[in-house]
Structure 1
């Protein structure tokens, strides 16, 4: 379902990173999120998937040396 909405913790779990990393991505405007209340953030799954797509090494022409 593409209209899923994640909390910081859920997004971090989905990306397999820590909460702090997700907060840094939001602060750097690399991951789109909506602020709810004073401290809570919500991130759409589709925005997380777009972040992953936009940061795939194939798209940036980065080769992985084996």
Structure 2
């Protein structure tokens, strides 16, 4: 049995872990390269991968007017 710390988390669980909304999680996957693994229709996450990505600045605020193509495609417009 996998240890609690090493198990795969759902998008809802990783959002709770980080204290952000699930919409933010999907935006980060699309536009900022958040480490996520798609299993069927579901996104799954490893806490250690996500924590390293956050520490490396992956979740930092983008500069004004610097919306990625992935975010534009996700939302259907430029922000």
- Structure 2 length-normalised TM: 0.61
Q: CA RMSD in A?
A: 1.8
Unaligned runs of 5+ in 1: 57-66
| Segments ≥4 residues shifted beyond 4 Å | none
Unaligned runs of 5+ in 2: 59-79
Q: Determine the C-alpha separation between the residues in 1 that align with 2:48 and 2:5.
A: 6
Q: How many residues align?
A: 55
Q: TM-score normalised to the size of structure 1?
A: 0.71
Give, in whole Å, the separation in 2 of the partners of 1:19 and 1:13.
8
Whose relative contact order is higher, 1 or 2, with alpha carbons under 8 Å and at least 6 apart? 1
